[in-house]
Structure 1
Amino acid sequence: MDWPTAITRLGGDHLIAAVAWNDLQTRYAEPHRRYHDLRHVTAVARDSGDLAVAFGLGSRERALVAIAAWTHDVVYDARPGEDERASAAWTRAELTNAGVPRADVERAGELVLATTHHSAPDDDFLATALLDADLAILGASPERYEEYASDVRAEYSIYSDEDWRAGRVAVLENLLARPRLYRSDIARARWESKARENLATELTRWRDADPHHR
């Protein structure tokens, strides 16, 4: 679902939504972004929308998922936690400005914040649609995954290769240790197997590059 449709479906003003969309596009085009750009959130909006439909979510619920998909990285400075809080604040402010009801404003903000630790109650299907879609890149083709991994490294270029390698290995090991990467059966069927292959391949590469690894 596109941005204007989602806003108007929640009762928001389409003209104000257009102004917010222009700001959103400008933010996602910031030069320091390599992965967390408009291409990424467009994919998340698409995949989360597909999952929302598969889960049988209603029109209003699907609009909330779409809004959170479009805005979950609207503020991105490679500061985990701070970025999500700032993105949630932007979301709440723009939805309020567009005249979206308060309950929907708060729900959209909650969904954005759920991406901080990728956690939410098991029965929160809106969050499940968003969080599973946000990790869909892990199950992409090997070529697309390699591009993603390279782009994320570029976004964290302030870190030395050694520090990045240590941190990335920890992240990859944590992901692979999880009993499941995706919250829903649908997402697991689509992406889990390929995601584990991609993660394992990257982990092996970083371990092989570590002169201290045995």
Structure 2
Amino acid sequence: MAIFLDPPLWPAHGRLFAHLISDTSLSELHDFAHRAGISGRAFDRDHYDVPDQRCDELVRLGAQQVDGGTLVRILLASGLRVRARERNGALVRPLAQRWNDLLSNHPDLGGELLERWGEDHRRYHDRAHLLNVLESLDTLADHLQERLPRAVMLAAWFHDAVYRGVAGEDEEASAVLAEDRLSAAGLPAVEVAEAARLVRLTSSHDPGTGDSAGALLCDADLSVLARPATAYRRYVQAVREEYRHVNDADFTKGRTAVVRHLLKLEPLFHTAAARNLWQAAARRNLQAELAGLERDGLDQSGSGIH
């Protein structure tokens, strides 16, 4: 395990910045940054931006200085590199085009939603998550060989439009926002009610029998669980960062309950297409995460030491 630093060559705010990374884990990187007194605001998904005047000090504290190309190769090999398409700023244009395809007469509403999804406090429930849900719905539609109802797509846009990290309350506030904004946009009342119903459903991910629209949205929302192992670990880390105000013991306890609940869901995915595409990988990821959480829980309680 090591911390690496490239030369300060990147201009911003009237000075030059370097990138600080770990070759192993974001936890190691955060620990080093904390010891060095680097603000959490300097973290950008897979690295810290540090000003040139801090570089010599960081090397004295143990960071290894390498050239920029070497740093990128180390980050890629670590599996921690966040692709450009997963970064909020890079997704405004493709998401704006998707909104235009969905509701072209209301660009201002699309702009408001994009601003909400790009809020600074978000780490997982961000524009990358929105795009993933929309693309997962595209995948399910391809398997069904049919066009999905517009209410389903609108619900995807609104389902985490309000995000404060309070389960149940966020979904309700997002549904109310959908009712307000879509009614003001002049959409049919039946379609507005359906979109809001679907948003509320993402609180439980438990559509009733025959609720095909609910099944599609819930499956798309949970498709993140089936990411490749490295990407799944990034997802888990992003969730942890959204709850950075919670101490490790409480987060481990809460996350353990969430993962156990997901593993008990039968079915985890409600459409046949989603089960075929994602269920096996999702269960592997969840089981691996649960094993790690249970180890962390033992370590934190001390009950694992005899």
TM-score by length of 1: 0.90
Supply the distance in 2 between the matched residues of 1:98 and 1:136 (Cα, whole angstroms): 30
Aligned residues between the structures? 205
Say whether residues 1:6 and 2:102 are aligned partners: yes
Task: Give 1:56 shift.
Answer: 5.4
Does 1:43 find its partner at 2:132? Answer: yes
Paired residue for 2:216, among 129, 132, 144? 129
Structure 2 CA distance for aligned equivalents of residues 137 and 37 of structure 1: 13
The alpha-carbon deviation at position 3 of structure 1 amounts to 2.0
Post-superposition Cα deviations, 1:20-64, rounded to whole Å, max 9, x if no partner, equal 11111111111110000111011101212332453455x5x5211
Indicate which of 149, 152, 159 corresponds to 1:62: 149
User: Which residue, out of 252, 257, 261, partners 1:170?
Assistant: 257
Q: Which amino acid aligns with 2:276?
A: A
**What displacement does 1:86 show?**
0.9
1:62-113 Cα offsets, whole Å, 9 max, x none, are 2111111111000000011111111111111111111111111111111111
- Any unmatched runs of 5+ in structure 1? 9-13
Partner of 1:197: 284
% same residue: 34
**Kept in 2: contact 1:182–1:188 (CA 8 A):** yes
8 Å CA contact 1:55–1:125 kept in 2: the answer is: no
**Partner of residue 296, structure 2:** 209
Give the conservation status (yes or no) of the 8 Å contact 1:172–1:203: yes
Q: What are the within-5 Å matches in structure 2 for residues 111-190 of structure 1?
A: 111-190=198-277
Give, in whole Å, the separation in 2 of the partners of 1:39 and 1:115: 17
1:3–1:66 contact (8 Å) kept in structure 2: no
Q: Which amino acid aligns with 1:148?
A: Y
- 1:125-170 per-residue CA deviation (whole Å, 9 max, x = no partner) reads 1111110000000001001100000001111112110011111111
Q: Distance in 1 between matches of 2:191 and 2:268?
A: 28
One-letter identity of the residue aligned with 2:115: T
Write the distance in 2 (CA, Å) between the matches of 1:172 and 1:104: 33
The code of the aligned residue for 2:98 comes to D
Name the structure with the higher strand share: 2
Distance 1:113 1:177 in 2: 21
Structure 2: runs of 5+ lacking an equivalent:
1-96
User: Of 1, 24, 28, which residue of structure 1 is paired with 2:117?
Assistant: 28
Tell me how far apart the structure 2 counterparts of residues 200 and 144 of structure 1 sit (CA, whole Å). Answer: 15
TM-score for the superposition, normalised by structure 2? 0.64
Is the 8 Å Cα contact of residues 48 and 130 (structure 1) preserved in structure 2? yes
**After TM superposition, where is structure 1 displaced by more than 3 Å over at least 4 residues in a row?**
52-57
Question: 3-state SS of the aligned residue for 1:135?
Answer: helix
